[in-house]
Amino acid sequence: MREKTGTRRANDHSPTEEATRSARGHIGLIVLSSIAVGLGLGLVLDLLVFGGSREPVITGCALLSLAAGCAMLAALSARRTDQPQRWAIVPAICFGLTGAAILILRPSGHVLGLLGWVWPILLVVLVVWMLRGSRRSLHSWSRRALLYPAFVVLALAVTNNRSPSGGRSYVVAGHSLYLRCVGSGSPAVVLFNGLGERTPSWAWVQGAVARQTRVCVFDRAGQGWSGKGVGGQDAHQLSADVRGLLAAANVPGPYVLAGHSVGGTYALAYAMDYPKDVAGVALIDSATPYQFDLPWYPGFYSLWRRASALLPTFARAGVARVYSFGSFSSLPSDARRQARAFGSSPRELRADRDEFAELRTVFRQDQSLTSLGGKPLFVLTADLGQESGWFAAQDRLATLSTNSVHQTAHGATHEALLVDRNYAAVTGRAIVSLVHSITPGPS
């Protein structure tokens, strides 16, 4: 009798003991460490080892890192806990094979774009699989706190559809360039986008200037609604594209050129290459040909060369859509929608990366322009958020003409001069004042 009782008690476990037994291995920590390893490995490969590489390399490494994280979760949870996450084997295989294929085959941007019609559907199916598997087998805080947010990011990885609002495309030197002109009068104003900007970024400014004269904005080759260009897009190539575009659209010169940020250096390049086509120049918080003389810029340039290579992959993973959702909020609704679509597009972010890599050449080419002579020049500078040396560099820009005005927009940031309605009005008035100072002449 005593032996039976002793046996029964030896095989009995209290609820507390059962909970301890079932919690063996700390599944939450394993989930956290698996995500951390996948993310950390991706950052090391994409930012340090292959920093600045083309999108197939960055994307392939990112997918292999995701596969490693999923494989780690499946293996450790099976060996060290009572909650094996066998569902993680499927995404580990899918991400691993896809990443390896992309690294080996190195598909072009066009092929990746075509695959963009297929992979969102497959990814949604995979996310549903992961969601159902984790709900069935993972009974821990980590499911809602860690896995669900990761699944949401993956689910956001879908393609944005967009279409131009007004304007049209013209074939110039074998490729398509998009141009949107509004208003009437002369001299016509031509707006040059900064890095990461597209035609919708000028919505407020273009509307204000159009009440006084004709104003045109365009997307550079490979950006926005323009087709891919041929060869390297340095300053001289861009100038030739713009001249051919304006001729194809029958926009007579001479023109008032206005550029924001890096767009200012492109405007100066056009004035350097085709001085007879230029009546005046407006530089809106513009970069300068001597950008690398600024104490902080070489370090920033080197870091961003590597970091910008990650952005197309982030866009395909849906991450870009998350941070672009809160951007461009001050633009008109239609322009805001278009700008956000561009800001989260792999194609556009890839174009920004390529353009950024070309800037050193563009700045060096611009240094050949030493003077605009007596042509009207308006330099408008934002006074908030500027790095050291910026205001001196703006003063130097103003010396390019013997007929210049340098004005500071108090309370404005670099971006606000375009996207904020009130400060965009300041930009518009600067351009209009330049137009009024010029007596229109024959083309």
Q: What is the DSSP string of 13-27?
A: --HHHHHHHHTTT-H
CB 378, CB 277: distance < 8 Å: no
Please give the pLDDT value at position 373: 93
Q: Is 389 left (phi over 0), alpha (psi -120 to 50) or beta?
A: left
- C-beta of residue 266 within 8 angstroms of C-beta of residue 229: no
Say whether 46 sits in a helix, a strand or coil: helix
C-alpha–C-alpha distance, residues 317 and 238, integer Å: 31
Which among 192, 366, 371, 238 is positioned nearest to 291, based on CA atoms? 366
Give the whole-angstrom CA distance, residue 168 versus residue 338: 16
- Report the half-sphere exposure of 17 (CA within 13 A, side-chain side): 5
> Distance (Å, rounded) from C-alpha 166 to C-alpha 181?
9
- 3-state DSSP helix/strand/coil percent for the chain, to nearest 5? 60, 10, 30
Classify residue 89 as exposed, middle or buried by CB count within 10 Å of its CB (0-12, 13-18, 19+).
middle
For residue 158, the model assigns a pLDDT of 47
Pairwise CA distance, residues 227 & 233, whole Å: 13
Instruction: Give pLDDT, residue 127.
Output: 84
Q: Which residues are registered as beta bridge partners of 382?
A: 409
pLDDT at 381: 97
Smallest CA-to-CA distance from 288 within 303, 256, 266 is with 266
Q: Would you state the pLDDT for residue 13?
A: 44
Residue 8 tokens read as 């029964």
Sign, CA dihedral 281-282-284-285, equals positive
- What is the reported pLDDT for 298? 94
Q: What DSSP string runs through 61-73?
A: HHHHHHHHHHHHH
Q: What is the pLDDT of residue 142?
A: 84
Q: Backbone dihedral region of 47: left (phi > 0), alpha (psi from -120 to 50 degrees) or beta?
A: alpha
Rounded Cα–Cα distance for residues 304 and 356 (Å)? 9
Structure tokens at 407: 């004005």
Rg (CA), the chain: 28
Q: Which of 193, 213, 331, 186 is nearest to 259 (CA)?
A: 193
Residues 254, 238: Cα–Cα separation, whole Å: 18
Name the one residue in this structure whose structure tokens are 């006074």. Answer: 383
Tokens representing residue 414 in the block:
């670099």
Q: What is the pLDDT along the chain (443 residues), one digit of tens a residue?
A: 444 444 444 344 444 444 444 445 589 899 888 888 888 887 787 667 776 567 678 778 888 888 898 999 999 999 989 999 999 999 999 888 988 888 888 887 667 666 666 777 788 888 888 889 888 998 888 888 888 887 776 665 544 445 555 788 898 988 899 999 999 999 999 999 999 999 999 999 999 999 999 999 999 999 998 988 776 789 999 999 999 999 999 999 899 999 999 999 999 999 999 999 999 999 999 999 999 999 999 999 998 888 877 777 766 666 656 556 567 778 888 888 888 888 878 888 888 888 999 999 999 999 999 999 999 999 999 999 999 999 999 999 999 999 999 999 999 999 999 999 999 999 999 999 999 998 654 43
Supply the DSSP string of 349-360, one letter for each residue. HHHHHHHHHHHH
E-state strands within 73-228: 168-172, 175-182, 189-192, 215-218
Cβ pair 239, 199 in contact under 8 A:
no
| DSSP secondary structure string for all residues of 241-295 | HHHHHHHHTT--S-EEEEEETHHHHHHHHHHHH-GGGEEEEEEES---TTGGGST
